[in-house]
Each structure stands twice: as C-alpha cells, then as structure tokens.
Chain A
Amino acid sequence: MVGVGMTVQRSSRRDVTGVELINEAVRAALSDAAMTRKDIDAVVIGNMDHFEGINYVDTWSVDGSGALGKPVMKMTTGGTTGTTVAMGAYYHVASGMFDRVLAIGWEKNSESDTTGAIITAFDPFWDRPTFGGAVAGLALEATQYMAETGASEEDAAYVAVRDRKNALNNPYAHLRMELTIQAIMETPYLAWPVKLGDMCPRTDGACALVFASEDVADDFPNPPAWVRGLADRHLWAYTSDPYVNQKVKGGTWFPAMEMATRELYDRVGITDPLEQFDVAELYLPYSFAGLRYMESLGFCERGGGPELVRSGATDMGGKCPVNPSGGVLSSNAIGATGLLRVAEAALQMQGRAGDRQVQGASLALATGFGGCYWSDEIVLGSEMPDVGRG
C-alpha cells in the first residue's frame, strides 16, 4: 500500500452526494501517493447497496472514483466489505495483471435507517420477521459470552471507553469522547445486555487506498506498507446458525474467525499475537467484541478477554494497542469501516499515523467483521515479506 486517503467521518454529510464523498477520499489517496487518475490501472469499490438504495455503485460512481474508462469491480460482503475490497485490490496486484489498483470503501449511513437496511440483508422468511438488526444479533452473543465466562457489562464498557478515548488522537474520527465506565453503564439498553454506549455509531464517510506491485512500490513518496498475509472465512446462512457451529465444531466462540486466524498465523509465523503484533486495528462493532473476539484472535485464552483489556495491554502504551484510531466504536461508515482498519494499520506501518502513532510499530493486524459472523484478517508489515505470496 502506497497511498492512503480518508474523509472526516461524520454523522451526516448532506453537503455531498455519495459520488462526491467517494471523490474526496480518492483525491486524498492519489495526492498522498503523488499520482493522477491516469496512473491507476484498475478500481475495486464496495459499499452495502441497501444503505443508500443505489444498486450499481461501480457504474454510478465512475466520475468520482476515477474508474471512468478503466477496469472496475464492485465487492460487497456486508460488514466485511471494506476488508474484502482491500483483499480484492491486493489480489488484482498479486495476480501480476495490474501494478496500481485503487481500493475504495464508502457509506452514507445517514441516507437510510441502518437497522431496517441491515434486516434486509438477511433471509426474507426465516430471519427477517424477528431479526432486530446488528444490535439484536450482537446482543445474543453478548448474553452467551457473559453467561459462559462470567464477564460483566463493565468489562465490555472498558472497551468502549478505550476506543473512544483513542479517537481523541484521530482528527478523522466521528465520536471523540473521554468517557468513564460509569457513563457507558448509564446509557439506555438497546437490546439487553447491549447499551447505547456499547454500540458503534452510524456514520457517513469514505476511504481509499492505493495498492502497488512490488515492481513499482518504490516509485512513490511514502514508504510502502506491505501485505504480509491474509485470510477470510464465511460460514453461515441464517442468524441462528453461528450458535450451532459453536457446538458442532468444538465449542469455539467464532469458528470463522478462528479458522481464518489459524491459516493466517501459520502463513505469517504468528505464535504469540500479543507479543508479536505491535498494533491492531480490529473491526469491533460493539464493546463486547473487544473481549470475545480477542479470544478468537488468540490474544488470550477463552474467557480471558476481560483480564486482557483491564491489564492495559491493549491501551495506547500497552503491549499491543488496539484501535489507536478509535476503531468502529468511534466511526462506522459501514462500507468504509473495514478499509479504514487496513488504512489505519498501513499508516502505522509507514510511521505516519500522527498523534495516534504507535512508536516503532512494524507488524500490524487488521480485521473485518460482518454478516453471520464472517471474518477477514490481514497482517501488514513495514518490511517487504520474503516470499511473494501473501
């Protein structure tokens, strides 16, 4: 990755259309890489159609995206859209067919009701009549996590406090707040045990990244951030299926994340993620994810999430700071969110993350989460990997 662009993340950007919002991020990324539109060989773009009711973003956005007259491919995988777009752009470059590929993720969540739109992503007759969107779906796993580990709502609130405090260092973040656990606890329940303060906001924003082949990676003003490896798993059809697989596949929390993690860590040589990663930008859409997903990512044993985060190991200055940007709990323009995790990890690897920089960071983990517990994971490094294949 040789160029990074992002818009300021805000609750509503009525001053721009989606195409114009995309263009802001694209211009920033091209400028960052000292490129013009002409230098781009192909474009990969993604969002979730139902949030804007625009079903052909690849065509609709060509003026703003810079894809006019170029190969363009749309990728949409739910919450993982942004990380899938990053993977798609990487595959374009790694195939040897393209040298400079633009990856774009965006959303204007202000243009529709987020919960209603999310419900339409699920099965029309099995799931929709009773589903309450991401909030209700995530609450089911939070209940289970607390029942089986003894974790508390306060443990989860620690994660929300951490990420939003980190956002104070990120001028692009949407919610930038110094909060207390007590303040989170006093917010109303949306779906017990998940409270307003535990959930991500809904955001308008866009992100663009320039991927380049190793042959041209030194032609840009900034040092590249390298893809060291990636893996993804999508497992389930219906909203109730993830709970089945936990039992069938050996009592794990999040089989898709654990499968992707095993493949990725084997490939990159990660045996102790807490020690080996210098920073992580994780798709934690609500506070309890910051406990439970840490276990599926191998940062601690099952049930060890609360102790891990309360030790300060994931705070700024800790062993592996999580979400220096403020993460998804601070900004969630859904189609941009996964790509922002990759972009923030790239900035960390380039040493260009400003006030949110983890000093000397050279290995980072970025993840995407979505749908019925899908998982995309990418390891980035400041040095070029030894082997060609990521």
Chain B
Amino acid sequence: MSDGGVKRMYLVVESGQAEQPFRWSAGTYGSRFLTAIRDDGTFTGIKCPKCGHVYVPLRRVCGPCFTEMTELVPVSNEGTLVTFSVVSFGFVDPSTGKHRAVPYGYAVIKLDGADSYLIHFIDETDPAKMKAGDRVRAVFEDEGERTGSMLDIKHFELV
C-alpha cells in the first residue's frame, strides 16, 4: 500500500490551533534579573554566602551547599565564549508557535563576575569564526522595546 493509502486508511485527530497559555512566576530573583535588563541594560548575579559562587541564571538555592542565597551582585555585560553551535535545522518554537529563524548562533557564555554560565544567541553563523575563550558582549533590544523577558537580550556579539 502506498503511503497515501495508509494515510487515508488510518485517521489522525488534530489538536488544531488551540492555545493553552501558561503564566510562569519568575520569582523574586528572576524578576530582579529581568527588571535590571529591562530598565538599566545590566546583568545581575546572586552569590552563595557559603561557597561564594555567583550564579547566572539566578536561583534562590545554591544546589551544592543547599543554602539560601539573598545577595545580588552586579555582573558584567561582557564575558567569554565557553562553547557554541550554529543551529540550522528548522523547527517550530513552542513558545511562539512560529518557526524559529535559522540559522542562528547558540552559545554558552561565562559573564565576567559570574561563576555559572548563561546560554543565549550569538550573532555569528560561521563556526570557523568562533572559538572557546573568545570575548563576547551582550546586545540588548532598544530601551522602551524591552518587555522583561530573556529576549530583551537580542544576542551576544563577538568583541
């Protein structure tokens, strides 16, 4: 039987375009992180009182120490490239329902002043032009256009 024949024989039920929106709490510290980007174009980290590790992404608990963190510290808008990829296959972004624009550079970044890493877009799609250790800096959306989301960071760029 041809593939077309199989498709006619066995029906599928489509979920269609129905939306099921969620409303996720960013929490106290996630809110502070996003607010500082939105209002000031700056990065914030959170420091463990026990091991001194500065976390970005922010979180309330240092996993290894299992201590509560409260101390917010400034973190640089510049840092170094840890590793990267250039994503070129097409897929629908479940957050938007639209195709993610490809190709895009995708990178793990160590911001100066942070001990953990941030993951985001990098404005380079030629892998030959990137290597671990390269200096990068954040490029934000224009002031007034920022909405309090991780996409207020437009991307990182090679310095």
B-binding residues in A (CB < 8 A): 14-15, 53, 113, 115-117, 119-120, 123-133, 135-136, 139-144, 147, 188-194, 237-241, 243-244, 248
Contact = CB atoms under 8 A, between A and B. Distances in A.
B57 interface: yes
B82 interface: yes
A351 to B, nearest CB: 37
8 contacts: A129-B95, A144-B82, A144-B83, A147-B83, A191-B87, A237-B59, A238-B119, A240-B57
A190 B88 contact: yes
A14 B63 CA distance: 44
Nearest to B150: A129
A135 B103 CA distance: 13
A328 to B, nearest CB: 18
Interface residues of B, number: 43
Contact of B119 (A15, A113, A127, A248): A127
Contacts of A116: 91-94
A129 B132 contact: no
B22 interface: yes
Interface stretch (B39-47, B68-76, B110-118, B138-146): B110-118
B102 to A, nearest CB: 8
Contact of B120 (A15, A119, A130, A133): A130
A193 B87 contact: no
B147 to A, nearest CB: 12
Interface in B117-134: 117-121, 127, 131-132
B158 interface: no
A119 B85 contact: no
Interface of B: 6-7, 10, 12, 15, 22, 24, 26, 30, 34, 53, 57, 59, 63, 82-89, 91-95, 100, 106, 108, 115-121, 127, 131-132, 149-151
B57 A238 contact: yes
Nearest to A189: B88
Closest CB pairs A-B (n = 5) = A139-B85, A14-B10, A240-B119, A144-B83, A190-B89
A117 B30 CA distance: 24
A129 B85 CA distance: 16
Contacts of B88: 188-192
Contacts of B24: 124-125
Contact of A194 (B15, B34, B85, B121): B85
A147 B95 CA distance: 32
A139 B119 CA distance: 13
Nearest to B125: A192
A274 to B, nearest CB: 28
Contacts of B34: 125
Contact of B84 (A115, A123, A143, A241): A143
Given A125-B26, A130-B119, A140 B106 contact: yes
Given A140-B108, A194-B85, A243 B94 contact: no
Nearest to B56: A240
Given A126-B57, A240-B119, A248-B115, 8 more contacts: A116-B93, A117-B94, A124-B22, A139-B87, A144-B83, A241-B116, A241-B117, A244-B116
A156 to B, nearest CB: 14
A303 B91 CA distance: 33
Contacts of B94: 113, 116-117, 119-120, 128
A284 to B, nearest CB: 18
Given A125-B150, A129-B149, A140 B83 contact: yes
Contact of A132 (B6, B95, B106, B120): B106
Contacts of B15: 53
A53, A139, A142, A194 interface centre (most CB from chain B within 10 Å): A139
